[in-house]
Chains A and B, each alone.
Chain A
Amino acid sequence: MKRFAQLIQALETSNKTNDKIDALVHYFDSAAEQDRVWVIALFTGKKPKRPVNSSLLKAWACELSETPEWLFNESYHNVGDLSETIALILPPATALLDLPLHEWITRLQAIEKLPEQEKKDFILNAWQHLGTAERFIFNKLISGNFRIGVSAKTLVNALAKKELVDSNKIMHSIMGKWDPYVIAYDDLVGGSHVNTDNSWPYPFCLAYAMEQEVSALGSPDNWQAEWKWDGIRGQVIKRNNELFIWSRGEELVTDQFPELHILADELDNGTVIDGEILAVRDGRVLSFSTLQQRLNRKTISKKQLEEAPVGLFVYDLLEHGGTDIRDQPLKERRRRLEDVLSRLSPSSGIVASPVITYNDWKELAQIREGSRENNSEGVMLKNLASPYHSGRKRGDWWKWKVNPYTVDTVMIYAQKGAGRRANFFTDYTFAVRDGENLITVAKAYSGLTDQEIRQVDSFVKRNSIEKFGPVRTVKPELVFEIAFEGIAESKRHKAGLALRFPRILRWRKDKTAAEINTLDDLRQLLQASLSLPETPAAAS
């Protein structure tokens, strides 16, 4: 495991992707075969079975290090990672033992069925024979969640470089379903498992945000415009009579959306479509907050199904008749997609995401201004001649979002962040004026540079008025412009309204707290958005 610890160290002592790829190639060149398979598994989120739960691990670490539980918790809050906290808090190893990574995994698997005392003896013994870096890895093997700053793409690129194989193929191979306990390295990177596996998804094609003038894209005739939906990206796969729905986070979410299960009957085998899962009622797209009630739930109640019905707005066809057609131009894929969707029963709620017709960029810009009226975030522009790329590739897919709403606010509370931000005040609460008072309207975590965060952190430390647990009340002095995507009535919030997706747009050092917006300003905006006409989504 020492070799693996060195890899982790090499990956962490550089910020540059090329260095990381080199470190990975170097590792795959020299590591034992079974270790290589496990490293791919761990870096793509495949976890060994969890032989011991984290609360036991924590209790044993407290016992071995003679740390009171509250102090362990304080430490954990600072470190932000349980495995690392344990690795650091334990006393130094009594002797060092170097076993290959897969050997540790096998041994850990072997204790799964043992009585608790024997598990404990094994874990404590292991801790006493591992250095801090190896201990950290060992703990990660138990608790899962191996996030080391290596994206799937970086890993794939390294494997492609080492094996001289096309990266898309490697991506297929490692994204699908395979068992690290069973598969051989050559079979894995060679992809011999994927044809027999019904569920494997294609990498999503991702868009870049439009930075230049839209006219720089050339003739509008070469571009297909669609609405930029604000839902959950999903890839629906039907192969060998089985249906799979993958989220963009490469998770299978099939069970979460029973409304879409009709596709198991209605799609032909060998069909893969890409679309947006949205809350839809009577053909009209509902707000993201409605959809949110449906996300990440183990069970869905009847009430939720009624209040937040889900539909699928499909925009691409990746596999047709069992053939990968991603190399076909968008124009052809779209033609085939519309054909596929036309065979579905009209009540299915599964429709093609409408194409916006427009004659020139100016007209499209005008149409785009109305995006919010159908709960979209703007428009997407896709090159009609483009293939369906793997991942993010500049040039063929652009998202052209409408400008967000903005409001000037003052910071009134600050709280320390978690994880990498555990030592800085990074989570802020913002208020607007309501007569003589300040009233909270938003919380935001992101949008400042590291340097600005340090400056705000230093301000908070010097200007705290009160302390409520981790929260500081600060002198209302710093003004921030907050951007947000929407506004809704809210009984839960004192202000009577809630901002959707608020984030810090910029620190307004040029403004004082006297110049911020008022609650009335926001109320007016709310009234205006409530009186929007009920336009159907299919506004093509």
Chain B
Amino acid sequence: MSLISFTNRGIYCSQGDFYIDPWRPVDYAVTTHGHSDHVKSGNANYLCHTLTKPILHRRIGEDLKIETLDYGKSITKNGVKISLHPAGHIIGSAQIRLEYKGEICVVSGDYKTENDGISAPFEPVRCHSFVSESTFGLPVYKWQPQDMVAAEIIRWAEDNIQKGKSTVLVAYSLGKAQRLINILAGRYPIYVHSSIANLNEAIEQSGVPLPATIRITPETGKDILQKGIMIVPPAMRTSRWIKTLINPVTGVCSGWMQVRSHRRWQSADAGFALSDHADWPGLIEAIGETGAETVYVTHGFTAAFSRYLNEAGIYSEEVKTQYGTEEDEEPAATEISA
């Protein structure tokens, strides 16, 4: 019998009687990472990486029963050994490795193979079956190295500042925002929306230092913001607040920005293809390194990616889940107002 099955509540391990990233409340939820399409409220127990715990408290609530594990450490539940391994997606993101009577299954959640300098880098884990995302599972999605994208963002920001424009980068508050802060640190003052500042606090409390940033409040002067770089979550992109800035220009940071039509669609001024998901070569390489005989594809271009794997001789199935293909579908952020 297979170690996992796909139910209408989420990915279920019947031998161990627990779920991985369920989208409906269950008794025991093993959590890959803190993005809202992977972890919901209402579960009786959570198991996640040590660094994900403060994120869950911040996003879901203080009153949660959470067990934690470090990377490479394991616990056993009903005879199923559960261990966590770096997924490289965001801080605290983990692949869940399950082992039962010699059978190994890895549920990767979301992952990327490039080292972003802030999340623990992805580690391939050998297994019999592998559950993979395919958010960018088409061969047109091939990322430039982070350094090159960073240089592009910096050039753009410098040009804006020189021309007296206010630079607003749009990035998901958990993951992309911290990555940008890390990339841009030390050049210009970085101003962050409160939803990002709150998560930064949670992350720093768990012992991961982040470069200095300044929380944007209604009192922050527009002339001061003009001389720095602002980072705000996607929900703020079309907000009234942005229109009150001095000559605002927006740059969206997302893997979707690889394609011109998506850049235009976002109606932002600039788009930067910076993603926390594996690109096409990354997906292919990661899957190859697992040595898996069976690959379940849960979200993204599932049909195409799974067909490609089958044609390449790796048995693959497309699975319907509720995981999103936005980089992080988060609740709407509030406006900045007094």
Contacts and interface: CB of A to CB of B under 8 A. Distances in A.
A135 to B, nearest CB: 12
A450 B267 contact: yes
Interface in A49-68: 65, 67-68
A79 B139 contact: no
Interface in B231-282: 238, 249, 256, 258-265, 267-270
Interface string A416-445: 000111111000000000000000000000
Given A67-B139, A78-B301, A458-B329, 13 more contacts: A12-B270, A15-B268, A68-B311, A74-B138, A75-B139, A78-B259, A79-B259, A84-B259, A88-B258, A420-B262, A420-B264, A421-B261, A422-B261
Interface in B280-338: 301, 304, 307-308, 311, 322, 325, 329
Contacts of A88: 139-142, 258-259
A13 B269 contact: yes
B188 interface: no
Contacts of B142: 88
B322 A75 contact: no
A14 B249 contact: yes
A68 B138 CA distance: 12
Interface in A11-41: 12-16
- Interface of chain A: mostly helix, strand, loop or mixed: helix
Contact of A16 (B138, B259, B269, B322): B269
Contacts of A78: 138, 140, 259, 301
Given A12-B263, A14-B249, A423-B262, A75 B269 contact: no
Interface residues of A, number: 31
Contact of A420 (B140, B258, B265): B265
A71 B139 CA distance: 8
A198 B270 CA distance: 43
Residue of A78, A81, A419 contacting most chain B CB atoms (<10 Å): A78
Interface size on B, as a range, is: 20 to 34
Contact of A79 (B249, B261, B270, B311): B261
A14 B140 CA distance: 24
A145 to B, nearest CB: 13
A359 interface: no
A254 to B, nearest CB: 34
Contacts of B256: 423
A371 interface: no
Given A71-B304, A420-B261, A462 B322 contact: yes
Contact of A149 (B264, B304, B308): B264
A258 B18 CA distance: 75
A12 B260 contact: yes
Contacts of A75: 138-140
Contacts of B141: 88
Nearest to A22: B163
Nearest to A417: B265
B255 to A, nearest CB: 11
Interface in B128-170: 138-142, 156
B260 A84 contact: yes
Residue of B138, B142, B269, B308 contacting most chain A CB atoms (<10 Å): B138
A14 B265 contact: no
A451 interface: yes
Contacts of A67: 139
A54 to B, nearest CB: 17
Given A13-B156, A88-B259, A65 B139 contact: yes
19 contacts: A12-B264, A14-B249, A14-B270, A15-B267, A65-B139, A68-B308, A71-B139, A71-B308, A75-B138, A79-B140, A80-B261, A85-B140, A88-B259, A149-B264, A420-B264, A421-B265, A422-B261, A423-B265, A462-B322
A85 B138 CA distance: 11
Contacts of B269: 13-16
Nearest to B260: A84
A89 interface: yes
